[in-house]
Amino acid sequence: MVDSAGKAAHRSSAVADTWSVPVLFPPQRPRVVVKADLLPAVSVLSTAALLGIPLGWLWSLMAPPQRMRLVTADGGLAPLELESWHRFDDLAVFGFLAMATGLLIGIVAWFLRERRGPVVFVAAVAGALVAAWLGTQMGPAFANSRYSVDSPPALGAVVAQAPRLDSGWVVLAAPLLTCLVYALMTAWNGREDLGRRLG
């Protein structure tokens, strides 16, 4: 008696498992919004690009100058001992500042909840790249004006040479960190629409 009741219950559960409620309107996956995000993307790109000016100004204040000795009357300069290391220091300081700029751009772009997606992501990365390039142009200009020499120095005098950037590859630090931050936020979110509907 128990076995027959157990078998009947098993058959009824198997029948119940085979039946399912038909879905007349399957949920549609959210599509990429392009047209509505173009104007906000332009705003993100231009605003992020303007960060290159304070980036260059901060670098001109933080980058160490290279002390040089005037060795010839026609303006020939020779670096003092260990002062040539500052060429790497200048590059490293700009790299860290560019990464901080990329981090800031990525976080702010992610918090634009209603505009999350590939369009704003591409605009943020492009804005970070333009900001880093603008920083490489404005930074040496600020530094040259800061360490300008008003009068010609005497022979053997020690002068401070303005910091400079010896490599253009440092501009990639900002967009790479923007990509990393936005990708980590996207993976952490886990929603198909990245939470746009909650905005």
In the chain, what are the domain boundaries?
33-190
Supply the pLDDT for residue 15.
46
125-137 average pLDDT score: 97
Residue 197: how many other CB atoms lie within 10 Å: 10
Average model confidence (pLDDT) across the chain: 82
Q: What is the CA radius of gyration of the chain?
A: 30
Helix (H) or strand (E) run with residue 70 in it:
strand 66-70
Task: Give the pLDDT band of residue 94 (cuts 50, 70, 90).
Answer: very high
Task: Give the pLDDT band of residue 162 (cuts 50, 70, 90).
Answer: confident
Instruction: With a cut of 80, say whether residue 34 has pLDDT above it.
Output: no
Supply the pLDDT for residue 132.
97
Instruction: With a cut of 90, say whether residue 98 has pLDDT above it.
Output: yes
Supply the pLDDT for residue 2.
44
Helices (H), 111-189: 118-146, 173-189
Instruction: With a cut of 80, say whether residue 137 has pLDDT above it.
Output: yes
| Residue from 124, 112, 111, 115 nearest 34 by CA | 115
Supply the pLDDT for residue 79.
66
**How wide is the angle at C-alpha 177 spanned by C-alphas 189 and 184, nearest 5°?**
15
- pLDDT per residue over 101-111, tens digit each? 999 999 999 99
Q: pTM, whole model, 2 decimals?
A: 0.77
Bigger pLDDT: 62 vs 197:
62
65-89 average pLDDT score: 74
